[in-house]
Amino acid sequence: MAPQLKRDPLGRSHELVTALLPARFAIRYPNAEDVRAVQAAGGRVLYQFRVALLRAELDTGAVRALVKGPAAIANAAFTVPDTTKFDANVQIFYDRAITDADKDTLRTLGVVEVDQASNPVLGASVPDSLIPRIGALPGVQFVRATGWGCAVERGNAPGAHD
């Protein structure tokens, strides 16, 4: 289901985004400060993930302020392609070499995409509800949110004309 753009009483369009919050190599969850920042930008938090992600609805012009500038709280923000899913792109850090049995265990839990990043890290797209179970698996040190994307400044895209 594609996200539905809404308009507020002033006619500004809103969109649903998932914001990737800075975490580095630590376990991080969305917190009250993150929620206040979204609210200060005129948005509302719809869901807080079990990793450094939150889903919010806000004015399209306010999305940039959450990612860049003095009030920024996020490294990136991605539009939500399917509002019925609460999946998170994550990296799963192990304290040992990853085995085929580790990948099979994730698949048994229902994780469809499992990619070996660098040892001992697996990349996966997982339902948020599975994150605590994955974090409790033998050998797992922690699970952290990650995001992939490509950004090109307007006017500099291949084929762009002045």
When the pLDDT of each residue in the chain is averaged and rounded to a whole number, the result is: 83
Residue range 71-78: mean pLDDT, rounded: 90
Q: Tens digits of per-residue pLDDT, 93-113?
A: 999 999 999 999 999 999 987
CATH domain 6-79 topology: Alpha-Beta Plaits (3.30.70)
Domain 87-145 has CATH 3.30.70: yes
Give the pTM: 0.78
Beta bridge partners of 97: none
| Residue of 75, 78, 97 whose CA lies nearest to 87 | 78
* Beta carbons of 79 and 3 less than 8 angstroms apart: yes
pLDDT > 90: what percent of the chain? Answer: 53
* Beta carbons of 17 and 58 less than 8 angstroms apart: yes
Q: How far is CA 60 from the centre of its chain?
A: 17
In the chain, the amino acid numbered 13 is S
Residues of the chain with CATH 3.30.70: 6-79, 87-145
